[in-house]
Amino acid sequence: MTYVITEPCVGTLDTSCAEVCPVDCIHPGPGEDGFERTTILYIDPTECIDCNACLEVCPVEAPLPEADVPDRSEPFVEINRAYYDEGLDAAERMLHQHLAGRGVA
């Protein structure tokens, strides 16, 4: 199982999760390409070791174990994967489509 960053991260971009991640699987972080353009952070599903460190420090409880992602946030599983499979632009496009459909963006 992996962790997925969900909607509470939108607009927050608190990077404490990336700072404590022991395997550096949360991106883009400060100073990384795309950080200025991203709406949320993304957890690499192939690198995450399910250590729970990200959830313990996140002030908005955005990271969730994939198995615990509620139905309304299920699109974040694919949005998160898209970042690593297709890049930031594809993930952000999916994210904004999802938020627009919910009347958030």
Confidence of residue 104 (pLDDT cuts 50, 70, 90): low
Phi, psi of 5 (to 5 degrees): -85, 130
Helices (H) and strands (E) in the chain, counts: 4, 4
| Tokens encoding 102 | 């919910």
Q: What is the pTM of this model?
A: 0.92
Q: Between 62 and 1, whose confidence is greater?
A: 62
Q: What are the structural domains of the chain?
A: 3-101 (3.30.70.20)
CA distance 92 to 53: 25
Helix axes 75-86, 88-101, angle to 10 degrees: 160
Place of tokens 């992602």: 69
Confidence of residue 105 (pLDDT cuts 50, 70, 90): low
What is the per-residue pLDDT across 3-19, written as a single tens digit (0 to 9) for each?
999 999 998 999 999 99
What is the per-residue pLDDT across 20-75, written as a single tens digit (0 to 9) for each?
999 999 999 999 999 999 999 999 999 999 999 999 999 999 999 999 999 999 99
SS (H, E, C) 46-104: CCCCCCCHHHHHCCCCCEEEHHHCCHHHCHHHHHHHHHHHHCHHHHHHHHHHHHHHCCC
Is a pLDDT exceeding 90 seen at residue 98?
yes
- Determine the 3-state secondary structure of 86 from DSSP: helix
Single-letter amino acid code for the residue at 83: Y
